[in-house]
């Protein structure tokens, strides 16, 4: 937005679709450096070190980043707060995400050390590696042992459901199906998921629209549910793919 010159409708459309993750730009290089030091986590480290920091569904690195960082967070806080309180805090991004990023940057916080292990003094990078190993075991069982074969869109998905049938038999008939979703909670292309229910998208755009304020007829918009709210209508889901 700071670059010289007028902004076109196409520019504004691109802004809404921007998948660059500024938090990953800041943290992924530190995470990659730690993972590259260990033989078993090095493949994940290489993915992060070569990543453009865009949360695009066809890439493996976004899934590595989000999964490892989300697993890293409870390793930092649970030993001090105990599991129940840590879960309450972690369930709301606003309580901890910015603070944790600052702690990662500074790399001098006592929170990284698990004080229940008297014989060890854990570091930020120790917890990065531990989190990566847990993620490798969990996602490896679901998506295969090679992290390069994982895809953000395989895990990060947006499901369109009808308020008449959100679960159970008939959900698919009345809804619009499950779709690979770009973005995350850190991108302009909004694809926020709940911390305790990764990586199902819970917040996204309800409509995308670009309007030429000099011409009332120049309006470009897409509604993920189509242009009608009538179930089984031929236009009920016809804008989902465009969205």
Quote the mean pLDDT of the chain.
92
- Cα separation, 59 vs 21, in Å, equals 13
Q: What is the model's pLDDT at position 96?
A: 95
Q: What is the model's pLDDT at position 226?
A: 63
Q: What is the model's pLDDT at position 232?
A: 78
Identify the residue whose tokens are 């702690």: 103
Query: Phi, psi at residue 125, to the nearest 5°?
Result: -70, -30
Residue 79 tokens, joined: 């030993």
For each successive 10 residues of the chain (243 residues), what is the average pLDDT?
88 94 98 98 98 98 98 95 94 94 96 86 96 97 96 96 82 86 96 95 91 87 75 83 87
Q: What is the model's pLDDT at position 84?
A: 95
Burial 58-89 (b: 16+ CB within 10 A, else e): ebbbbbbbbbbbbbbbbbbbbbebeeeebeeb
Identify the residue whose tokens are 């229910």: 197
Q: What is the model's pLDDT at position 132?
A: 98
**DSSP letter assigned to residue 166:** S
Query: Phi, psi at residue 235, to the nearest 5°?
Result: -100, 15
Query: Phi, psi at residue 83, to the nearest 5°?
Result: -60, -45
Q: What is the model's pLDDT at position 210?
A: 93
- Cα separation, 141 vs 203, in Å, equals 28
Q: What is the model's pLDDT at position 228?
A: 64
CA 242 to chain centre: 21
Alpha helices (H) in the chain, listed in sequence order = 9-16, 22-35, 42-49, 61-81, 83-90, 93-106, 124-143, 152-155, 171-174
Q: What is the model's pLDDT at position 171?
A: 81
135 to 53, 138, 144: CA distances (angstroms): 19, 5, 12
Q: What is the model's pLDDT at position 227?
A: 59
């Amino acid at each position: 937005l700071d670059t010289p010159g007028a902004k076109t409708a196409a520019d504004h459309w691109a802004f809404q679709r921007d998948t660059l993750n500024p938090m990953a730009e800041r943290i992924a290089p530190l995470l990659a450096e730690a993972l590259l030091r260990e033989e078993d986590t090095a493949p994940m480290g290489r993915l992060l070190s070569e990543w453009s920091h865009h949360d695009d569904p066809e890439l493996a690195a976004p899934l590595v980043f989000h999964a490892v960082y989300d697993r890293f967070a409870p390793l930092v806080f649970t030993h001090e707060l105990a599991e129940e309180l840590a879960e309450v805090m972690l369930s709301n991004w606003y309580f901890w995400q910015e603070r944790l990023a600052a702690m990662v940057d500074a790399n001098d916080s006592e929170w990284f050390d698990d004080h229940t292990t008297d014989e060890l003094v854990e570091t930020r990078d120790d917890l990065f590696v531990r989190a990566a190993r847990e993620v490798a075991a969990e996602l490896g069982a679901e998506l295969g042992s090679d992290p390069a074969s994982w895809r953000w869109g395989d895990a990060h998905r947006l499901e369109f459901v009808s308020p008449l049938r959100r679960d159970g038999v008939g959900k698919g008939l009345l809804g619009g199906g499950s779709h690979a979703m770009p973005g995350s909670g850190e991108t302009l292309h909004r694809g926020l998921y709940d911390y305790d229910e990764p990586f199902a998208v819970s917040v996204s755009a309800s409509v995308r629209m670009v309007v030429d304020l000099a011409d009332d007829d120049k309006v470009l918009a897409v509604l993920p549910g189509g242009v009608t709210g009538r179930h089984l209508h031929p236009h009920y889901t016809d804008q989902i793919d465009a969205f």
